[in-house]
Structure 1
Amino acid sequence: MSARSVRTLIIAGLSMVALAACTSNTPEAEKEDNAAAPQGVASGKNDEPGQKVRIGFSAPAADHGWMGAITKATQAEAKKYSDVELIVAEGTNDVNLQISQVETFINQKVDAIVLLPFDGAALTPVAIKAMEAGITVVNVDREFDSTFAARTTILGDNKGMGVSAGTYICKEMKGKKDAVIAEIAGIDSLPLTQARSQGFKEALADCGLKVSNRVAAEFTVESGEKAAANLLQAAPKLDAIWNHDDDQGVGVMAAIKNSGRKEFFVVGGAGSANVMRDIKSGTSLLRATVIYPSTQGADGVRLARLLVQKKALGDLVEVEVPRTIQLYAPVVTKDNVDQYLPTAFES
């Protein structure tokens, strides 16, 4: 991939190239052929100013590093386009208030809504109402219950996170069949946690390993420290730990430091900047982290703009924006950390 293409990616190098919405890697002759292409067909001019697009954005409260990064990246992306006006609702974990925010966007007759719902099921009816009003809805991260609630859905890959973490640990174990692997999950009742654990279990099984010790936290620093302390007390020997979330990982690493133990390594989850800096230092037990992109809202802005302007994704032959886009869950190590630090969030 050329340097010019990499520059346009939301997740440098490994996010779907389609999201770049341009064709800087298209040969010059092909660009000339596309100059007269009909509306909706890739023309290589997707980033040029076009029809004005008013986009409403609503997401949960930024009470978590990843969530805060979602909103920050979304606002930064909108500012890149002179033809985009982004209306940002205050982040909230109150479902009724978020429903009211979407109702306000409908009344304002925005062109599109980029919506990361606190509760996908609860926001489904009002999202359908927006679509029926002719407003393009882009669903981010937490899925609605109906395909009629959104034109396009952008997702991270929760199961893929587990697969990536497990595959990396398998590689690091180098055939050690008696390796003791531990897992510090997030909130067990959430489907995303269950998907991450399932992917991790399947990847380990592929190399003859299993999760020997497992505890669950609550995606917070305090819960991470408590869960890790309990794990370390119950497991006198460990070879590797996968922690689902880098925010709760701040507490996890505090508990590990307090224990004085160093016989294992740790793989993080989500891709925070502080974890990446620890990986880069080479002096931490943190050896890797698995990305869960905090750029999904920014991707949503790009896609909403394309949809309203009736454009296609520049690097696809398909003349319509896909209904579902799932972003990749790459593993960040000391070898590639510099590639991912620019888009990482602070825990």
Structure 2
Amino acid sequence: MKKLLSVLVSVVLVASLAACTSGKTASTGSTSNSTEQKSEGTKTLGFSIDQLFESRAAVVEAAKGEAEKNGYKVIEVVADGDAQNQNSQIESLISQKVDAILVCAVDQNTIETALVKAKNAGIPIVAFDRDLPESKSINTFVGPDSIADGLAAGEYMVEQLKDQTGEIVVLELLGALNDQNGIDRSKGFNEAFKALPNAKIIQMPTDWDSQKALDATQNAFQANGDIRAVYCATDTQIPSVETVLTDMGKLKLVGEDGHVVVCGINGSKDGYEATVKGVSDGIVVMDLKTTGETAVQNAIDLIGGKTIDTDTVIPGQFYSNKDIEANKDKIWGVQ
């Protein structure tokens, strides 16, 4: 059971790397791997990153800023979605004797071999952004409270749908199910819909891929034209939903008769613009700055021998079509 840490929208939380506590182990961007080596006597954090798509890059930039502020160098390696590559990269960080490793894993299981080696070398490990609940190697996790985020989106949708009669068909576009965030967002969303017993949820996998989301949405609407709501595990898929609704002549904006309720989680520019326009009813915005900064803070504490929480989870903030534009400065995707 994760220890939930209640956080206000702007509170900064980040995972730390260290061997003093025992905890859980732990689209489409890429970057070249860093070849920078650790200098003798330099305090260094190793960042092992799955991929550098938009939201991940925002977390990493916040973490780098916090590391620099505290006098730490960063050696960054990016696996480009290849788990075996990530294994090798983590082993390289170990050989460079980094003081701690911050890892966002490609998947939950494949990199455990390298994480065990890091643990045996006495290097603290902080999993960030993506939990690794089966791992025995990480010291702490810092990331989104994905259950709470899914619950917030689901509760808002339930409120919009509660007065509709008959069977209410809802399409759930699932995130990747080898990603704890995808699993937990679905868990929270479905928990909210227990309050609407006449709802029927159709689940379609997308693996976070927008083309798969478009295909899944087309297939779902062709099989059941009376879908009244669509939940996107990532709001970057809302444009795919908009395309399908437009092509089928079903696109009605918030407040118009026949509007299909649409919500998502993330805080991307796509999600923001769709919500301002009224295609989407609202989105949950993740606090990526807090996640990145807190991860580094925790890593530094672990290096210093401090005991920290096994899990630090940070809930996002839901913004609706009515208030999102007034809170534009809080949406990471438009900064």
Give the shorter-chain TM-score range: 0.7 to 0.9
Pairwise CA distance, 1:130: 1.5
Counterpart residue identity of residue 14, structure 1: V
Using a 3 Å threshold, how does the CA distance of structure 1 residues 191 and 274 change in structure 2: closer, same or farther?
closer
Match among 137, 140, 152 for residue 164 of structure 1: 152
Give yes or no for the alignment of 1:306 onto 2:293: no
Match among 230, 249, 257 for residue 219 of structure 2: 230
The equivalent of 2:104 in structure 1 is: 116
The equivalent of 2:313 in structure 1 is: 326
Q: Residues of 1 paired with 2:151 and 2:325: CA distance?
A: 19
5+ residue gaps, structure 2: 1-5, 17-40, 253-257
Pairwise CA distance, 1:139: 1.1
Note the alpha carbon deviations across 1:113-155, whole angstroms, 9 max, x for none.
Answer: 10111123222232222122222211121305333x1221123
How many percent identity over aligned positions?
23
Q: Residues of 2 paired with 1:115 and 1:229: CA distance?
A: 36
Counterpart residue identity of residue 8, structure 2: G
Using a 3 Å threshold, how does the CA distance of structure 1 residues 342 and 85 change in structure 2: closer, same or farther?
farther
Give yes or no for the alignment of 1:57 onto 2:52: no
The equivalent of 1:286 in structure 2 is: 280
Using a 3 Å threshold, how does the CA distance of structure 1 residues 322 and 190 change in structure 2: closer, same or farther?
closer
Q: 3-state SS of the aligned residue for 2:122?
A: coil
Match among 197, 203, 217 for residue 208 of structure 1: 197
Counterpart residue identity of residue 150, structure 1: I
Pairwise CA distance, 1:194: 4.0
The equivalent of 1:271 in structure 2 is: 267
Note the alpha carbon deviations across 1:228-277, whole angstroms, 9 max, x for none.
Answer: 12222223223321111122333222222222212212101222122113
Q: Residues of 2 paired with 1:187 and 1:153: CA distance?
A: 19
Q: Is the 8 Å Cα contact of residues 124 and 144 (structure 1) preserved in structure 2?
A: no
Q: Residues of 2 paired with 1:122 and 1:175: CA distance?
A: 46
Q: Is the 8 Å Cα contact of residues 12 and 294 (structure 2) preserved in structure 1?
A: no
Note the alpha carbon deviations across 1:148-189, whole angstroms, 9 max, x for none.
Answer: x12211232333333222111122234435343322223456
Q: Residues of 1 paired with 2:282 and 2:216: CA distance?
A: 20
Using a 3 Å threshold, how does the CA distance of structure 1 residues 218 and 121 change in structure 2: closer, same or farther?
closer
Q: Is the 8 Å Cα contact of residues 270 and 290 (structure 1) preserved in structure 2?
A: yes
Q: Residues of 2 paired with 1:120 and 1:189: CA distance?
A: 7
State the superposition RMSD in angstroms: 3.0
Match among 9, 15, 28 for residue 14 of structure 1: 9
Pairwise CA distance, 1:16: 5.4
The equivalent of 2:143 in structure 1 is: 155
Aligned residues: 294
Q: 3-state SS of the aligned residue for 2:333?
A: coil
Give yes or no for the alignment of 1:219 onto 2:215: no
Q: Is the 8 Å Cα contact of residues 220 and 247 (structure 1) preserved in structure 2?
A: no
Using a 3 Å threshold, how does the CA distance of structure 1 residues 122 and 216 change in structure 2: closer, same or farther?
closer
Q: Residues of 2 paired with 1:240 and 1:131: CA distance?
A: 46
Q: Is the 8 Å Cα contact of residues 332 and 340 (structure 1) preserved in structure 2?
A: no
- Please, what TM-score do these two structures have when normalized by structure 1? 0.73
Q: Is the 8 Å Cα contact of residues 12 and 339 (structure 1) preserved in structure 2?
A: no
Greater alpha carbon shift after TM alignment, 158-167 vs 170-179: 170-179
Q: Is the 8 Å Cα contact of residues 221 and 252 (structure 1) preserved in structure 2?
A: no
Q: 3-state SS of the aligned residue for 2:109?
A: helix
Note the alpha carbon deviations across 1:40-66, whole angstroms, 9 max, x for none.
Answer: xxxxxxxxxxx974100011122x433
Using a 3 Å threshold, how does the CA distance of structure 1 residues 330 and 306 change in structure 2: closer, same or farther?
same
Q: Is the 8 Å Cα contact of residues 275 and 289 (structure 1) preserved in structure 2?
A: yes
Greater percentage in helix: 1
5+ residue gaps, structure 1: 1-10, 22-50, 312-319
Counterpart residue identity of residue 333, structure 2: F
Q: Is the 8 Å Cα contact of residues 119 and 142 (structure 1) preserved in structure 2?
A: no
Q: Residues of 2 paired with 1:66 and 1:242: CA distance?
A: 19
Pairwise CA distance, 1:20: 11
Q: Residues of 2 paired with 1:58 and 1:77: CA distance?
A: 16
Q: Residues of 2 paired with 1:156 and 1:304: CA distance?
A: 17
Pairwise CA distance, 1:106: 1.4
Using a 3 Å threshold, how does the CA distance of structure 1 residues 182 and 94 change in structure 2: closer, same or farther?
closer
Which structure has more relative contact order (CA 8 Å, sep 6+)? It is 2
Q: Residues of 2 paired with 1:203 and 1:253: CA distance?
A: 24
